[in-house]
Amino acid sequence: MNEPNNKKDHILKTAEELFATKGYEAATVRDIADAAGVNLAMISYYFGSKEKLMESLFHERMEASRMKVESLLNDKTMHPFQKVEVILDDYIKKVIHKQSFYKILLCEQVMKKNPVVIKLIRELKLSYAAMFTQLIKEGQKKKIFKKNIDVVLALTTMTGTVTQMIVNKDYYIEFNEHKKLSEPEINTMLIEKLSSHLKNIFKKILGYEE
């Protein structure tokens, strides 16, 4: 399931790991080739260049993690805050289960170097904001959410909290003395904690009283 079935995907997966741990610039094509167990030239052969390898990674991963939002927005039966909860849980799981990619994403947002990557990120952010705006309006129309909600600020807290947790992970474990837990157990715990934490926060942000 998670195992890449062909060589190209294997290189992509290896590159993802190295970009996340060493950074894009510091991870050389030789590092990637060695770690993937393939010849140096195979990276140019399959992707054209290191830069395009990065772009392929973003195309691949962002396509795979696209939200299934339309059905959620059009659902007339589900409660607006339940929809918010679904979005929060969906995002949290995505980030925690794909920490390597979201580390790369975070750094690329800071650098803004690769134009193709920037464009992909921009489109994702704006679609996210538009979707969330619509959802909030629905809740406001039903007098469930308060007026004058700052959408981008709300989403900034969502993405900021979760991505920052990737980086704070070790401190979190150390501070709360969860060292005995295995890696999957830690991730499950983080998802749990982040979920209730952000749902609680979003009640306040949206002015929702249950």
Residues forming contacts to DNA in the complex (CB under 7 A) are 7, 27-31, 38-45, 48-51
Report in angstroms how near the CB of residue 67 gets to its own copies at its nearest: 17
Based on the shown chain and the rule CB under 8 A, indicate whether residue 4 belongs to the binding site for its own copies: no
- Cα–Cα distances (Å) from 182 to 2, 160, 173, 186, in that order, read 19, 25, 11, 6
Structure token pair of residue 169: 């992970």
Count the Cβ atoms, other than its own, within 10 Å of residue 195. Answer: 15
Report in angstroms how near the CB of residue 7 gets to DNA at its nearest: 5
Report in angstroms how near the CB of residue 44 gets to its own copies at its nearest: 20
Residue (of 4, 95, 113) closest to 50 by Cα position = 113
Integer Cα distance of 97 and 108 in angstroms:
19
Structure token pair of residue 19: 């970009």
Q: Looking at residues 99 to 128 of the shown chain, list those that interact with its own copies (rule: CB under 8 A).
A: 103, 106-107, 109-111, 113, 122, 125-126
Residue (of 96, 95, 76, 79) closest to 206 by Cα position = 79
Closest CB to DNA among residues 50, 203? 50
Q: Which does 165 bind (CB under 5 to 8 A by kind): DNA, its own copies, none?
A: its own copies
- Residue 141 CB-density burial (10 A; 0-12 exposed, 13-18 middle, 19+ buried): exposed
Residues 104 and 21 sit within 8 Å (Cβ to Cβ): no
Report in angstroms how near the CB of residue 99 gets to its own copies at its nearest: 10
Based on the shown chain and the rule CB under 8 A, indicate whether residue 26 belongs to the binding site for its own copies: yes
Report in angstroms how near the CB of residue 187 gets to DNA at its nearest: 30
What is the binding site for its own copies (CB under 8 A)? 20-26, 103, 106-107, 109-111, 113, 122, 125-126, 129, 150-153, 155-157, 159-168, 171-172, 175-176, 193-194, 197, 200-201, 203-205
